[in-house]
Structure 1
Amino acid sequence: MSRYRNANASRDAHITTLRALCAVLVLACAAMWWGWYQAPKDLTISIPPDLRSGSTQKWWEVPPSTVYAFSFYIWQQLNRWTVNGEVDYQRNIHGLQAFFTPSCRIALSSEYDARRNRGELRGRVRGVFEVPGRGYRAEAIKILGQDTWVADLDLVINEQYGGVDVRDVYIRYPLRVVRADMDREQNPFGLQIDCFEGKPQRLTMPGDTP
């Protein structure tokens, strides 16, 4: 009888041990599932455009070339007025608002109101493009921190009114760019323009008349 009781006790102890191990495994699986569930669904990795050689890139770093391409693309779209600047400029500010910081959006809207009141937008057609030979280059991007840059865009501004050129100038725009990875649906770049880091400068090109 004693041997039978000992066997039952040993069996019960073994079952208890197995149950405890099962409980630990369930908890471990639950923890792994929770970690997997909380992991980011998407990771954006910026790769420099020159792929002739290999590149080691940390996924959270944004290369200067990407900052330049983003700032130039957004600024060009903002300043593209195809029919009437009074309508096109306001529409562009609204349509591109996800790519500007809140303070910059307010500044752009204030500038729009001031220029409209002065009659500088009605009927204007505008386009901007890079000064030939002054596209992306190392000195065009200043790194202020891991999440802050200044992009110097050397652009040609061409404005027309009634089919006649009324403005054709060279301007350097020092655009402040910040990381803003908040809404990938509205802003897949994860960057925003924070308006100017200093005043835009008029450029003098070879052959210009003083």
Structure 2
Amino acid sequence: MSRYRFAIDNVQAHLRSLWLIIGLQIMVIAALCYGWSRAPEHLTVHIPPDLRSGAVQHHTEVPAASVYAFAFYLFQQLNRWPEDGSRDYGRAIFRIAPYVTPRYRAELLANLDEKGRRGELAYRVRALQGIPGLGYSENRVDILDSQTWQVWLDLELLESVKGMTVKRTRIRYPLRVVRYAVDPEANPWGLALDGFGADGPRRLTDADLLGGEPAHAIQ
């Protein structure tokens, strides 16, 4: 009789250990489900353009090519006035507002007001385009710190008033770009223009166009 009793006690002890293991597994599964629910739904990863030799990219790292592309695209949109600068410039500032810092937005609005008072916007059409041979290269993006870059854009500025060309100039724009991950819904890049760096824009010389020097080496 005692032998059967001992066997029953062993079975019950084994069942209790199994229930303990099941309870621990439920707790682990619940913790995993909670962690899964807290994981980000969207993760932005900047992929470098040249993958011929492969790439190892951390999701917080922004390659120089992505910074350059961001600055080029946004600055081109800011300076695209297809019909009338008196209307188009303000619309462009409003359209790219999520992609500029508050400081630079204030500068742009002040510039809009100044140009309007000086009569430099009415009926003015403006566009920026890249210059062949002076596009992206690694030396066109300077890393100032982990949160800030300076991008050197060599672009051709085209302006006309009532169909008459009034300006056709090649200019070097030193643009500051900063991390700005404050509204991923409106700004998935997590970057923002922060105005001009260095000494501001200047006209390109023939030496700039023919010399092939690094962008930041010619001041």
Amino acid in structure 1 at the alignment position of 2:21? L
Alpha-carbon distance, 1:34 to partner: 1.4
Amino acid in structure 1 at the alignment position of 2:110? S
- Which stretch of the first structure deviates more once superposed, 61-70 or 131-140? 131-140
Alpha-carbon distance, 1:188 to partner: 2.4
Query: What pairs with 1:107-186 in structure 2 (closer than 5 Å)?
Result: 107-186=107-186
% same residue: 43
Alpha-carbon distance, 1:122 to partner: 1.3
CA contact (8 A) 2:173 2:202 kept: no
Amino acid in structure 2 at the alignment position of 1:110? A
CA contact (8 A) 2:131 2:156 kept: yes
Alpha-carbon distance, 1:147 to partner: 2.5
Deviations 1:137-186 (A, max 9, x none): 22211011223211011122111111112222222211111122343332
Alpha-carbon distance, 1:2 to partner: 4.8
Amino acid in structure 2 at the alignment position of 1:154? D
Gaps of 5+ in 2: 208-219
Q: Determine helix, strand or coil for the equivalent of 1:45.
A: coil
Amino acid in structure 1 at the alignment position of 2:24? V
Equivalent residue, structure 1, for 2:34: 34
Deviations 1:11-33 (A, max 9, x none): 43333222221111111001111
Deviations 1:48-99 (A, max 9, x none): 2234332333332111111111100110011000011111011111111111
Alignment coverage as a number of residue pairs: 207
Q: 1:72 & 1:48 partners in 2: Cα distance?
A: 16
TM-score, structure 1 as length reference: 0.88
Q: 2:144 & 2:206 partners in 1: Cα distance?
A: 31
Amino acid in structure 2 at the alignment position of 1:20? L
Alpha-carbon distance, 1:7 to partner: 4.3
CA contact (8 A) 2:172 2:204 kept: no
CA contact (8 A) 1:171 1:200 kept: no
- Which stretch of the first structure deviates more once superposed, 14-23 or 60-69? 14-23
**Cα RMSD, aligned residues only:** 2.0
Q: 2:62 & 2:185 partners in 1: Cα distance?
A: 19
Q: 1:165 & 1:32 partners in 2: Cα distance?
A: 64
Alpha-carbon distance, 1:6 to partner: 4.2
Q: Does 1:15 align with 2:15?
A: yes
Alpha-carbon distance, 1:5 to partner: 4.9
Gaps of 5+ in 1: none
Q: Determine helix, strand or coil for the equivalent of 2:27.
A: helix
Amino acid in structure 2 at the alignment position of 1:66? S
Alpha-carbon distance, 1:205 to partner: 2.5
- Which stretch of the first structure deviates more once superposed, 25-34 or 169-178? 169-178
Equivalent residue, structure 2, for 1:50: 50
Q: Determine helix, strand or coil for the equivalent of 2:74.
A: helix
